[in-house]
Structure 1
């Protein structure tokens, strides 16, 4: 009698998605509340304004802070629900179709592209480091790596070699994330001389 093999649940991926979703949602919520407070009391400094360099106000009140005609954090309030739900579903043993993983991955392609643009605007145009924005960057970057490798591991590209490489690279996500953070930190230092202003 043949024995049915149950596919291994991606528990680590699921837990990360839930964690990143909660952290990202909280950052988006905090920024949204800061923006509402500023609209109610114009000229009031945000609670995350610590200095000319480290602040939220310049980012929130800029054109870059409302790219689509409304505050950017509102995007996060809706978008960060998705990884929480997907993570919970994976923990419950859900299996998703290929098209679902492609759409989910495309969401993170948009997220990482938007974050890279926002980082460039923050460092090269606004010359500020927004604390809650940086929290968002810190979860979007590794989440993009995790989702990309997981999607490849799930066989979105139906080649066994691709799946094997993606599976091996998953263990390198922490290092990839650290390298990405270091790159951003070095650019920030070169552009804004952060250490001299602490």
Structure 2
């Protein structure tokens, strides 16, 4: 492989996708273990329950915790294999066509929309913050921006030149954009739930 070929591969994105996939799988696995624990003993105290506000029991037992009729962690255990495989494939010198990146982006965007909905439900309807859920949020937010901005930048997603230039400029700011997203969620949660007083 030529040096230019190496440079053209999104190595940093691949490494991040592997990291995000592993973190998402771990958090989903921990939530699934807690769900099994609840099935076995509905009155059990869960390891992720720290206070009336910072806990996962309410989320796991809610309708929002089983949107498709089965526990949401199962979705995570399936879905987070995708970024892990894509990242590993890129490091192994795989080249994907534009349609593949668009399909992958649609999946990531769906996951991003899902965690936004879940965060709203958690803060405004359930009145709790689930540690493992927030771990999933923490990787989905930068994954959405990284994949979307990369696809706009390279033209995998058709867009006017001005939007491609803006995406290219914003791509290196994904960490900052993600931190802003974290801060927004944290501020909303604090205003709504007064989280700090329960820590």
> TM-score range with shorter-chain normalisation?
over 0.9
TM-score, length-scaled by structure 1:
0.94
The DSSP-based 3-state class of the residue aligned with 1:185 is: helix
1:35–1:4 distance in 2 versus 1, CA, 3 Å: closer
Measured against aligned partners, the alpha-carbon deviations of 1:99-158 in whole angstroms (never above 9, x if no partner) come to: 111110000111111101100110001100100000000000010000101111231216
Instruction: Give me the CA root mean square deviation.
Output: 1.7
- Structure 1: state its 5+ residue gaps: none
Cα distance between partner residues in 2 of 1:61 and 1:107: 26
Match of 1:164?
165
| Pair 1:12 & 2:12 matched | yes
Cα distance between partner residues in 2 of 1:8 and 1:155: 14
Cα distance between partner residues in 2 of 1:127 and 1:76: 22
Measured against aligned partners, the alpha-carbon deviations of 1:168-190 in whole angstroms (never above 9, x if no partner) come to: 21111111011111110110011
Q: State how many pairs are aligned.
A: 196
The DSSP-based 3-state class of the residue aligned with 1:52 is: coil
Answer whether contact 2:154 2:164 (CA < 8 A) is retained.
yes
| Pair 1:100 & 2:103 matched | no
1:173–1:5 distance in 2 versus 1, CA, 3 Å: closer
Measured against aligned partners, the alpha-carbon deviations of 1:64-100 in whole angstroms (never above 9, x if no partner) come to: 0001000001000000000000001111121111111
The DSSP-based 3-state class of the residue aligned with 1:143 is: helix
Answer whether contact 2:55 2:129 (CA < 8 A) is retained.
yes
TM-score, length-scaled by structure 2:
0.93
Cα distance between partner residues in 1 of 2:57 and 2:154: 42
Shift of 1:163: 3.5
Match of 2:185?
184
Answer whether contact 2:52 2:198 (CA < 8 A) is retained.
no
Match of 2:133?
133
Shift of 1:159: 5.0
Shift of 1:196: 1.8
Cα distance between partner residues in 2 of 1:197 and 1:4: 54
- Structure 2: state its 5+ residue gaps: none
